[in-house]
Amino acid sequence: MDEPQQKWTETIEDKHSLFDLKLKEVWRYKDLIYMFVKRDFISSFKQTILGPIWFFINPIFTTITYLIVFGRIAKLPTDDAPPILFYLAGVTLWNYFSTSLLGTSSTFVGNASIFGKVYFPRLVTPLSIVLSNLMRFGVQFMLFLIAWGYYLAKGQVHPNIWVLATPFLIILMALFALGVGMIFSALTTKYKDLSMLLGFGISLYMYATPVIYPTSALRGVFKQLAFYNPLTGIFECFKYAWLGVGDFSPLMLAISTFIILILLAIGTVIFNKIEKTFMDTV
């Protein structure tokens, strides 16, 4: 009797387009993404007393610090928006972007032990980081909505139709963190000093982004440079939508979208190229 012909269920290939994110393959590993997201969420507050309450404590204390330092002492303008709400909006967005970028930037180095033992699409790891941080963002966004509802009832904020663009703004931040994170995750396999430089660079980058000030407060070349900061359009659109203040224009958001897509494409190419050989250098 002839033996039944064997059928392969998995095919691992090393030849694919550098622009290919292999999303179909990633979708097949959606259960693994869920496990990674759950792991990241639980491990963040394991053996802590307050647990997920830290999601609220961090933005509250950061907002209070900004209110004292930049509001009371430096007296930076907020475009007549309630200072607490203005800083809370910036902190909520910035926390999501910075934590996602730092997390994705250590994809290869931080997960080398797993990558060396079992195969799965490497993109699963940075995607799970972006999604797990999205859960934290959701909790902090609820805090923002509570404060926003209070000032809305007092008539001190004036939201508009652009609030409907909020999901798009969040996606843009996620793609920006993913694109830049993939670039740094690939580079740190050879140059580990970049991981320390990135932490310092993110701290400086916050001051180049309208987190603690509106772009209307900038003048001359600084305002022109801010216009081409990919996060400027996102932050200004968010504050304009929910608070009714800011120096926002659709062109600003269009430029942010274009730059972010370019960086995502570059990050994809570098990530796909490095993932084939990174085990030799990590």
- Mean pLDDT of the residues in the chain: 84
**171-215 tens-digit pLDDT:** 999 999 999 998 888 888 777 777 778 888 999 999 999 999 999
Give the pLDDT of residue 47. Answer: 58
Domain-located, residue 26: no
Instruction: Give 85's pLDDT tier (boundaries 50, 70, 90).
Output: very high
| pLDDT attached to residue 7 | 61
pLDDT at 50 over 90: no
Instruction: Tell me which residue range forms the domain holding 222.
Output: 61-280
Cα-Cα-Cα-Cα dihedral sign, residues 114, 119, 122, 127: negative
Assigned domain for 248 exists: yes
In a domain, 8, yes or no: no
Residue 25 lies in a domain: no
Q: Indicate the range of 44-48, 118-122, 237-241 predicted with least confidence.
A: 44-48
Q: Is residue 169 part of a domain?
A: yes
Question: Any idea of the CA torsion for 273, 168, 120, 46, to the nearest 10 degrees?
Answer: 120
User: What is the tally of structural domains in the chain?
Assistant: 1
Residue with structure tokens 């000030």?
213
* Band (42; pLDDT cuts 50, 70, 90): confident
**Per-residue model confidence (pLDDT) at position 22:** 67
Q: pLDDT at position 216, please?
A: 87
28 inside domain: no
Closest by CA position to 104, among listed 32, 167, 48, 40: 40
Highest-confidence segment of 5-9, 20-24, 84-88: 84-88
Tell me the per-residue pLDDT of 230-268, one tens digit each, with 9 for 90 and over.
Answer: 999 999 999 999 999 988 999 999 999 999 999 999 988
Mean pLDDT of the region 56-66: 90
Per the domain annotation, does 273 fall within a domain?
yes
For range 76-87, the mean pLDDT: 93
**Per-residue pLDDT at 12:** 53
Q: Does some domain include residue 134?
A: yes
Q: For residue 136, what pLDDT band results from cuts at 50, 70 and 90? A: confident
This prediction's pTM: 0.86
Q: How long a stretch of residues is the chain?
A: 282
What's residue 116's pLDDT? 65
Query: What are the contacts of 197-205 at 24+ separation with CB within 8 A?
Result: 198/101, 198/102, 198/105, 199/102, 202/98, 202/101, 202/102
Of 148, 161, 163, 141, the C-alpha closest to 81 is 148
